[in-house]
């Protein structure tokens, strides 16, 4: 939070001093990171909580909801910055000359911000590894820090190129060099944040976990179920944040008690917890599996 707030304030201040819109966008990205971190602290603690009267299926989905809106807010910022930059380029083409960029501040700003981003990435990545690579929040924040540093570094290089263009045959580009850099950065950033948004939105909507995860869980379930007097009908796996929820549909070959069903569930969950940080298992006695949920 301290790192993001520092970069946010520095970006806004450097933008005002240098008259650069690209630095303003860079600072706003960091401020979004600061405010989202305030929410992430609570979400990270709460997502590990078990089921209660208010949330009968636990709080795992909170992490997926957070990453969805975090990505969406960044996409909104990208669209805003892109639109602004294109409008400035269009105005320049129409004869309006923008205020010149002052390059003196940009070099110092670029070096300091890249250094902070490297530290933030290292911290988030190390913490993510400590969670067993389970926390989507830490994974997203590590990626955001690395991407923020890359954006700032590329912007610095871009400004260097714009500075060198002055006095050459391409000097006409210099007045909108700042806006061109913003457009390029937004195009690059949109791909990453759109990918994060689709992934987290899929979790919120209940899309099945990846094929690799489903196949891995299916193998575990099959090994456990074959020890009991039941037939495996179907397996469904959902990912919500760091929690993998598995529904196992079984058809008993003979009379079965609730205690036996609980034993199967516990055994499967014990094995899955060796692979995943958090796992939930629900064993459902059924002859048709998910087919029973289809509309008549």
Handedness of CA 11, 16, 20, 22 (dihedral sign): positive
What is the reported pLDDT for 48?
Answer: 66
Model pLDDT for residues 206-220, shown as the tens digit of each residue: 888 888 889 999 999
Rounded Cα distance, 147 and 134, in Å: 20
**Residue 184 backbone dihedrals phi, psi, to 5 degrees:** -65, -45
Angle formed at CA 158 by CA 146 and CA 25, multiple of 5 degrees? 60
- 10-14, 135-139, 202-206, 257-261 — which is least confidently predicted? 135-139
Instruction: Indicate the pLDDT class of residue 247, thresholds 50, 70 and 90.
Output: very high
CA distances for 81 relative to 15, 28, 77, 273, angstroms:
14, 10, 6, 43
Kindly state the average pLDDT of the residues 84-112: 83
H-type alpha helices, the chain: 2-18, 21-46, 61-93, 104-130, 136-165, 177-204, 211-225, 258-272
In this structure, how many other beta carbons lie within 10 angstroms of the beta carbon of residue 129?
12
How far is residue 93 from each of residues 79, 89, 172, 238, 292, measured CA to CA in Å? 21, 6, 11, 51, 62
pLDDT value of position 295: 67
What was the pLDDT predicted at 58?
A: 74
- Cα–Cα distance for residue pair 190/72, rounded to 1 Å: 10
Q: Kindly report, residue by residue over 128-186, the tens digit of the pLDDT.
A: 888 777 777 788 788 878 877 877 887 787 778 878 877 787 778 877 777 887 788 78
| Whether pLDDT at 7 is above 70 | yes
Taking CA 248 as the corner, what is the angle to CA 280 and CA 279, rounded to the nearest 5 degrees? 15
* Lowest mean pLDDT, pick from 1-15, 153-167, 187-201, 280-294: 153-167
Main-chain phi, psi angles of 290, to 5 degrees? -65, -15
- Mean pLDDT for the stretch of residues 273-279: 85
Least confident window among 101-105, 121-125, 203-207, 274-278:
101-105
pLDDT confidence band for 76 (50 / 70 / 90): confident
CA dist 64 and 206 (Å) reads 10
**Looking at the predicted structure, is the pLDDT value of residue 195 above 90?**
no
What's the whole-number mean pLDDT along residues 69-87? Answer: 85
The model's confidence at residue 267, banded by pLDDT at 50, 70 and 90, is very high
At 296 the pLDDT is 64
Average pLDDT over residues 191-211: 85
The mean pLDDT value for 8-19 works out to 87
pLDDT at 283 over 80: yes
Instruction: Write the pLDDT tens digit of every residue in 32-71.
Output: 878 888 887 787 777 766 677 777 777 778 888 888 888 8
Instruction: Report the pLDDT value the prediction gives residue 131, as an integer from 0 to 100.
Output: 79
- For the record, the structure tokens of 43 come out as 């979400």
CA distance 132 to 203: 20
Q: Does residue 241 surpass a pLDDT of 90?
A: no
Residue from 246, 251, 249 nearest 214 by CA: 246
- Alpha-carbon separation of residue 72 from 99, 272, 292 (angstroms): 32, 32, 35
């Amino acid at each position: 939070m301290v790192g993001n707030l520092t970069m946010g304030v520095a970006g806004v201040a450097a933008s005002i001093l240098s008259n650069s819109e690209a630095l303003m966008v860079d600072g706003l990205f960091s401020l979004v990171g600061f405010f989202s971190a305030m929410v992430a602290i609570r979400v990270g603690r709460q997502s590990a909580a078990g089921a209660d009267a208010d949330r009968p299926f636990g709080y795992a989905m909170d992490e997926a909801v957070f990453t969805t809106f975090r990505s969406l807010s960044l996409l909104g910022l990208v669209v805003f910055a892109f639109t602004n930059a294109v409008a400035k380029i269009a105005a320049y083409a129409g004869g309006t000359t923008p205020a010149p960029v002052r390059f003196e501040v940009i070099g110092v700003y670029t070096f300091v911000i890249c250094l902070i981003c490297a530290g933030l990435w290292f911290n988030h990545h190390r913490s993510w590894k400590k969670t067993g690579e389970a926390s989507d929040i830490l994974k997203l924040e590590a990626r955001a820090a690395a991407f923020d540093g890359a954006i700032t570094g590329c912007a610095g290089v871009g400004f260097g190129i714009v500075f060198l263009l002055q006095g050459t045959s391409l000097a006409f580009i210099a007045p909108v060099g700042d806006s061109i850099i913003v457009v390029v950065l937004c195009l690059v950033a949109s791909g990453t944040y759109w990918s994060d948004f689709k992934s987290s939105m899929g979790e919120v909507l209940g899309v099945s976990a990846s094929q690799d995860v489903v196949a891995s869980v299916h193998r575990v379930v099959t090994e456990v179920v074959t020890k009991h007097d039941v037939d495996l009908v179907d397996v469904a796996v959902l990912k919500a944040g760091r929690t993998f929820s598995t529904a196992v549909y079984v058809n008993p070959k003979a009379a079965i008690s609730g205690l036996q069903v609980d034993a199967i569930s516990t055994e499967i969950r014990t094995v899955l917890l060796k692979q995943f940080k958090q796992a939930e298992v629900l064993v459902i006695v059924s002859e048709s599996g998910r087919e029973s949920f289809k509309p008549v």
